[in-house]
């Protein structure tokens, strides 16, 4: 169902293998058109240190971007990479990586505490990417609200997030700014770690 967001009507769909072409079209043609420092397929958050090392070894002598794409494709096919795509005018214009905390690796490549051992208790929101021309129009808010709504239906106890504390607005804030979660009713439950990540939580029951 299309939802008006700012002046934009968007549709949000859960990522499935059938939508992988839309996923890659977004990341390759719209996500990073503003000289963003990021260039990825959001595949790294689902990778353990061992898996990342294997991918790096596989990339020797090959195009690293191609290897990253292959990793993301396999993650989508296996249901490891999960989240939501936002569409406008028939094209994917936004993405949110959201998954059961138990599905993130316990020894992640990045030192952020996404993982929790018990399934079906907490859903984590770990990354947003919005096409530059659609930023500031409420797309991330719409994506977050969909995560929360589905988590309630699926019986989760809470949704958690890990924004970075910043003194000023950062255009490429892939974890989502603190105010995004505060507006959605999240509360801070853990102070900033060594990398500046705070843990935010929204109770669903």
Q: What is the CATH number of the domain that holds 101?
A: 3.40.630.30
Answer left, alpha or beta for residue 7, where phi above 0 means left and psi between -120 and 50 means alpha. alpha
**pLDDT tens, N- to C-terminus, the chain (205 residues):** 455 566 678 999 999 999 999 999 999 999 999 988 788 999 999 999 899 888 888 778 788 888 899 999 999 999 999 999 999 999 999 999 999 999 999 888 777 778 898 888 999 999 999 999 999 999 999 999 999 999 999 999 999 999 998 888 878 889 999 999 999 999 999 887 877 889 999 999 7
pTM listed for this prediction: 0.91
pLDDT of residue 121: 96
Task: Say if CB 124 and CB 101 are below 8 A apart.
Answer: yes
Number of domains in the chain: 1
Residue range(s) defining the domain that contains residue 157: 3-203
């Amino acid at each position: 169902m299309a939802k008006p967001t700012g002046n934009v009507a968007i549709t949000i769909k859960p990522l499935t293998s059938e939508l992988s072409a839309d996923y890659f079209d977004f990341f390759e043609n719209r996500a990073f058109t503003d000289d963003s420092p990021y260039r990825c397929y959001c595949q790294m958050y689902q990778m353990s240190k061992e898996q990342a090392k294997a991918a790096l070894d596989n990339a020797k002598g090959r195009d690293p971007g191609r290897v990253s794409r292959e990793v993301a494709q396999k993650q989508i096919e296996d249901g490891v990479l999960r989240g939501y795509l936002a569409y406008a005018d028939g094209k994917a214009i936004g993405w949110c990586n959201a998954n059961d905390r138990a599905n993130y690796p316990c020894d992640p490549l990045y030192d952020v505490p996404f993982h929790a051992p018990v399934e079906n208790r907490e859903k984590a929101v770990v990354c947003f990417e919005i096409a530059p021309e659609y930023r500031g129009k409420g797309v991330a808010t719409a994506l977050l609200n969909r995560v929360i709504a589905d988590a309630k239906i699926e019986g989760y106890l809470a949704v958690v997030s890990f924004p970075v504390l910043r003194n000023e607005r950062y255009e490429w804030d892939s974890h989502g700014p603190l105010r995004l979660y505060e507006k959605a009713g999240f509360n801070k439950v853990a102070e900033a770690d060594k990398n500046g990540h705070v843990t935010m939580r929204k109770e669903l029951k």
